Structure 1
Amino acid sequence: MKKTMIAGAVGAFLAFGAGTAMAAAPDWGKVEGKDITAFYPGVSPLEWIQKGTEHGGARALKKGETCADCHSDEAGDMGKKMASGQKIEPSPIPGKAAFIPVKVQAAHDGENLYIRFSWKQPAASGAAKMDDKNPVKIAFMLESGGKVELADQAGCWATCHTDSRTMPGADDAKTKYVKGGSVAEGKFYDLYQWRSGENKGYNGYVADKRVMEGGNALVSAEGKKDGDNWSVVFTRKLAAGDGDVKLESGKAYNFGFAIHDDNAAGRFHHVSLGYKLGLDTDGHIKAAKQ
């Protein structure tokens, strides 16, 4: 009798939990989307984009313009130049996709933020697998208040440096980092990643170094492939712990994402330019309450 009562109570609890989660998830068919091109960046670290003799946009950057202001409409063309080795890519991968069109949607329910990424799988290059465990990885980063230098203008590029691993001649142990980064001082990026082979989500940060775990905001990360189409949904709490960015209605946050396609690793990914994620306010991606 006791076993039956316990089993029934557990079943009711699980059913309630599942029902609550399903009720909280947004109807993606009713959520506005933003089409963003993730492109192959080659060897274009922060130091390169700031060097006027190599990057024509360095002058505009110094004047306060954003990378997206200049390049959002030509991201695909930039990816073609770099993936082919025509520009700033000393080790081109034959057949590497130059860019990936991605639809980004966001919504919240007052407690959680939901972000959905959807895209069509590009053709495989046939190159050797860098990450044999994970055919696809997708990550996004958030930054609050522009405390990271150039985060308002260059998105995630503030974490990409010439001495980071997989850059030509760099130390393989050197991760992404923020110059002068400090979680205690709020000078960091909040980092989230989903890995297809492991079917697992990660929540960390990038400050003086990249840390893949330890965050408290991630609730779930779920991905699926339907034919050639991927969709990945991250759910994270609006509230924040150490290394997490606190999200509030009426505010906008610096936002960028990257896709490691074709079993890629390190810098051989596709990246977005820097955008704004607005909660109940203006932004390139708008997260309205559902």
Structure 2
Amino acid sequence: MKKSVLVLAVAALGATYAVAADPAKIDWTAVPGKTLTLFYPGQSSHEWLQSDAHKKGAEAIKKGKACTYCHEDEEKKMGASLVKGGPLEPMPVKGKNGSVEVQVQAAYDDKNAYLRFQWKTQNPFPGTEHQYLRFDGKHWAVYGYPKLDKVVQDGQQPGIYEDRFSIMLDDGKVANFGKQGCWLTCHDGERDMPKQFTKDEIAANAMLTALKRADVRKFLPDSRSNPDDWKTGKPLEEVAKLKADGKFLELMQWRAHRSHPVGMTDDGYVLEWRNSDAGKNMFAGNADAKTHEPKFMWDAKKVGYKSVTADQFRQGDHFLIREQNAVPFDPAAGWKEGDMLPDYVVSREDAKGSAADNHAMSSWKDGLWTYVLTRPLGLANADDKALKEGGVYNVGFAVHDDNITTRGHFVSFNHTLGFGAKADIQAVKLK
């Protein structure tokens, strides 16, 4: 892998995807920064937050206090303790850090908001590899899983997963997010959490069946008749009314494999589930649902190979970009055992609608990710929170590092972000 991975898609793609300013030309040395400590939360769900196991905190929550009322400046200490294992982490990942520091800067002009984040990776390489499809001589199957998965911890599969940076944002319409942050969305029953769902429970659940969902992911308490029981979903008509009233959280995710190579950040929201915005994302599965064969392979005429093998990990940029280096999969191309293709194909051209609102500029050098989100001001889509001058927003951040996902991330307590208004993080207006 090269020492520096750089994507400047906003500038490179020209007028088709033009933005008001080139974030590469912003003088970030003139923009004030704030250093936040994000910590490892383990299985500290919203239910645990209010339980006897968290008695002092539960009492504070009943009195309307925020998490920082008890835990201000304790992030590093808590993360170091939780990551080692215990009641809130039944499957600790060997060698994992307990916290990470993130430098945050914010700016805006008449058309866009620009949020810049920097953090050091645990590994001496960028986490741009993601899961693969591997040929075993007869069939293609997923190869590589997140480090929290049992197959990785048992040594049956390698730990392979992309780095991610997530931003959750509220404009004041979601009750308690300003106090409890992302814990409002993290519940027992979700993936890798206590009392994780079963397939039978999913099949018997009216809401998830109607939504055609196969698992349980982030949700807001207001979407359930029992706020802390994922099985008690409200009728979809009531959920739609909540959304129309703006009672959802914005969720923007930059992904080092699935959005970084095309200069984008995916756009979604949390309400009854962790949803993508309307339109189409910049990434899609590369496995055919019926045959399980890949849909695309690398164009050997352009990149010099049609596939890779495990010994080539981190020896180059293994992105499969539909409009740049991919061709339709050829089952008769002489595949050998151990040949691998990415499990996802990415595309800037395919990204459409509200899901394609967010641009990104990102680079990794000498152990440091630098990521700049460019988001238009004043978005009027039904699944977006509109950023505007004078606005103050509740925000929470998360970093996924070291080949891990779900609860294995680092998270922040809630902070405020202001555009020409007083807040923890104050965006500077560009001249």
Deviation at 1:229, TM superposition (A): 0.7
Deviation at 1:183, TM superposition (A): 1.6
Corresponding residue of 2:425: 285
Q: Distance in 2 between matches of 1:270 and 1:82?
A: 11
Aligned: 1:154 with 2:294 = no
Aligned: 1:275 with 2:291 = no
Q: Distance in 2 between matches of 1:130 and 1:185?
A: 36
Q: Distance in 1 between matches of 2:180 and 2:95?
A: 28
More moved, 193-202 vs 129-138: 129-138
Deviation at 1:190, TM superposition (A): 0.6
Q: 1:185 to 1:94 in 2, by over 3 A?
A: same
Q: 1:148 to 1:84 in 2, by over 3 A?
A: same
Q: Equivalences for 1:135-150 in 2 at 5 Å?
A: 135-145=162-172, 147-150=173-176
Q: 1:19 to 1:175 in 2, by over 3 A?
A: closer
Aligned: 1:130 with 2:157 = no
TM-score (norm 1): 0.86
Report how many aligned residue pairs link the two structures: 274
Contact 2:67-2:180 at 8 Å conserved across structures? yes
Please state whether the residue corresponding to 1:21 is helix, strand or coil.
Answer: coil
More moved, 73-82 vs 246-255: 246-255
Deviation at 1:117, TM superposition (A): 0.9
Letter in 2 for 1:280: G
Letter in 2 for 1:77: K
Please state whether the residue corresponding to 1:183 is helix, strand or coil.
Answer: helix
Q: 1:87 to 1:211 in 2, by over 3 A?
A: same
Please state whether the residue corresponding to 1:130 is helix, strand or coil.
Answer: coil
Q: 1:87 to 1:248 in 2, by over 3 A?
A: same
Please state whether the residue corresponding to 2:54 is helix, strand or coil.
Answer: coil
Q: Distance in 1 between matches of 2:86 and 2:181?
A: 24
Corresponding residue of 1:183: 243
Contact 2:265-2:358 at 8 Å conserved across structures? no
Contact 2:39-2:412 at 8 Å conserved across structures? yes
Q: Distance in 2 between matches of 1:15 and 1:165?
A: 41
Corresponding residue of 1:232: 371
Q: Distance in 2 between matches of 1:69 and 1:24?
A: 38
Q: Equivalences for 1:186-205 in 2 at 5 Å?
A: 186-198=246-258, 199=260, 200-205=264-269
Q: 1:166 to 1:87 in 2, by over 3 A?
A: closer
Corresponding residue of 2:395: 255
Contact 1:217-1:239 at 8 Å conserved across structures? no
Corresponding residue of 2:97: 97
Please state whether the residue corresponding to 1:78 is helix, strand or coil.
Answer: helix
Aligned: 1:40 with 2:40 = yes
TM-score (norm 2): 0.59
Letter in 2 for 1:27: D
Corresponding residue of 2:359: 220
Deviation at 1:238, TM superposition (A): 1.4
Letter in 1 for 2:195: G
**Cα RMSD, aligned residues only:** 2.5
Q: Distance in 2 between matches of 1:248 and 1:257?
A: 20
Deviation at 1:283, TM superposition (A): 1.0
Contact 1:133-1:197 at 8 Å conserved across structures? no
Question: What whole-Å deviation, never above 9, does each CA across 1:5-31 have from its counterpart, x for those lacking one?
Answer: xxxxxxxx9479869532796321111
Q: Distance in 2 between matches of 1:232 and 1:186?
A: 28
Please state whether the residue corresponding to 2:396 is helix, strand or coil.
Answer: strand
Letter in 2 for 1:222: M
Q: Distance in 2 between matches of 1:23 and 1:66?
A: 34
Contact 1:106-1:116 at 8 Å conserved across structures? yes
Please state whether the residue corresponding to 2:266 is helix, strand or coil.
Answer: strand
Letter in 1 for 2:271: A
Please state whether the residue corresponding to 2:244 is helix, strand or coil.
Answer: coil
Q: Distance in 1 between matches of 2:70 and 2:54?
A: 16
Q: 1:209 to 1:18 in 2, by over 3 A?
A: closer
Larger radius of gyration: 2
Question: What whole-Å deviation, never above 9, does each CA across 1:69-125 have from its counterpart, x for those lacking one?
Answer: 43231101100111001451111111111000111111110211111110111248x
Higher RCO (C-alpha 8 Å, min separation 6):
2
Residue ranges of structure 2 left out of the alignment (5+ in a row)? 1-12, 125-143, 148-158, 199-214, 224-241, 279-353
More moved, 166-175 vs 255-264: 166-175
Question: What whole-Å deviation, never above 9, does each CA across 1:9-63 have from its counterpart, x for those lacking one?
Answer: xxxx947986953279632111111110110001101111122442422222222
Contact 1:217-1:238 at 8 Å conserved across structures? no
Letter in 2 for 1:107: A
Q: Distance in 1 between matches of 2:63 and 2:32?
A: 32
Q: Distance in 1 between matches of 2:91 and 2:370?
A: 30
Deviation at 1:175, TM superposition (A): 1.0
Corresponding residue of 2:21: 21
1:211 pairs with one of 264, 275, 278? 275
Q: Distance in 2 between matches of 1:284 and 1:262?
A: 29
Contact 2:145-2:160 at 8 Å conserved across structures? no
Please state whether the residue corresponding to 1:77 is helix, strand or coil.
Answer: helix
Aligned: 1:115 with 2:115 = yes
